[in-house]
Amino acid sequence: MVGGEAAAAVEELISGVRRATDFAEQFRSYSESEKQWKARMEFILRHLPDYRDPPDGGGRLDQLLSLSMVWANHLFLGCSYNKDLLDKVMEMADGIEVEDLPQFTTRSELMKKLCCLTIGWTIWIRFIQQRLEGKTKEKTHFFIFLHNLWLCFLLLLLLSRFSRVRLCATP
């Protein structure tokens, strides 16, 4: 009879998982991809027992759904939130494996690249200007023109990067 009890326990477990999955399915956003939803559903199902609403209400389930959205938005969209909140959801999501996550460039990373380019170019221009001392004004003006053209290019590059890259405060 032990085999029958084990089979019944397994069947009950499978039934419980199906009910929990069906319950969680109602919270899927129409804009979530299958990959995003699977990850967020795993987050929800993992913590559902701890966040069940008490009989008198209380909004614990709403809190869990909000935490799951914070986690998914941070992971898939690059959104940034308060450090304590991010620490909490990342701890809650510990062990959930998500493949092929998008990579986001932070504003500070873009600024570092831009500053390095600008400093390098300025050093080069100063070197050229020192070499041109005593040369004709036309050559000197030409290199100043190149310097200004480079700065305009960097500004346009920076503006185009900000319009195409999602900026986030955390790496």
Residues near 170 by beta carbon (within 8 Å), at least 6 away in sequence: 80, 86, 106
Among 2-6, 133-137, 161-165, the minimum mean pLDDT is found in 161-165
With H, G, I as helix, E, B as strand and everything else as coil, classify residue 17.
Answer: helix
Closest among 31, 49, 32, 41 to 93, alpha carbons compared: 41
Please report the pLDDT score of residue 145 as a whole number: 79
pLDDT (tens digit, 9 = 90+) per residue, 63-90?
Answer: 988 999 999 998 888 888 889 999 999 9
Confidence grade of residue 93 (pLDDT, cut at 50, 70, 90)? very high
Please report the pLDDT score of residue 44 as a whole number: 87
**Which domain does 87 fall in, by range?**
2-104
Please say whether the beta carbons of 36 and 52 come within 8 A: no
Number of domains forming the structure of the chain:
1
Higher pLDDT, 163 or 169: 163
Say if 24 falls within a structural domain.
yes
Say if 45 falls within a structural domain.
yes
Of all residues in the chain, the percent with pLDDT exceeding 70 is 69
For residue 29, count CB atoms less than 10 angstroms from its CB and return exposed for 0-12, middle for 13-18, buried for 19 or more.
Answer: exposed
Say if 149 falls within a structural domain.
no
Indicate the average pLDDT of the chain: 76
Please report the pLDDT score of residue 1 as a whole number: 44
Radius of gyration of the chain (CA): 28
Q: What are the helix (H) ranges across the chain? A: 2-25, 34-47, 60-72, 83-92, 107-132, 137-164
Say if 65 falls within a structural domain.
yes
Say if 158 falls within a structural domain.
no
Say if 129 falls within a structural domain.
no
Say if 153 falls within a structural domain.
no
Over range 37-41, report the average pLDDT: 87
- In the chain, the N- to C-terminal Cα span, in Å, equals 57
Neighbours of 36 (CB within 10 A): 18
Whether residue 154 is predicted with pLDDT greater than 80 in this model: the reply is no
Whether residue 60 is predicted with pLDDT greater than 50 in this model: the reply is yes
Please report the pLDDT score of residue 115 as a whole number: 74
Please say whether the beta carbons of 64 and 47 come within 8 A: yes
Say if 69 falls within a structural domain.
yes
Please report the pLDDT score of residue 41 as a whole number: 85
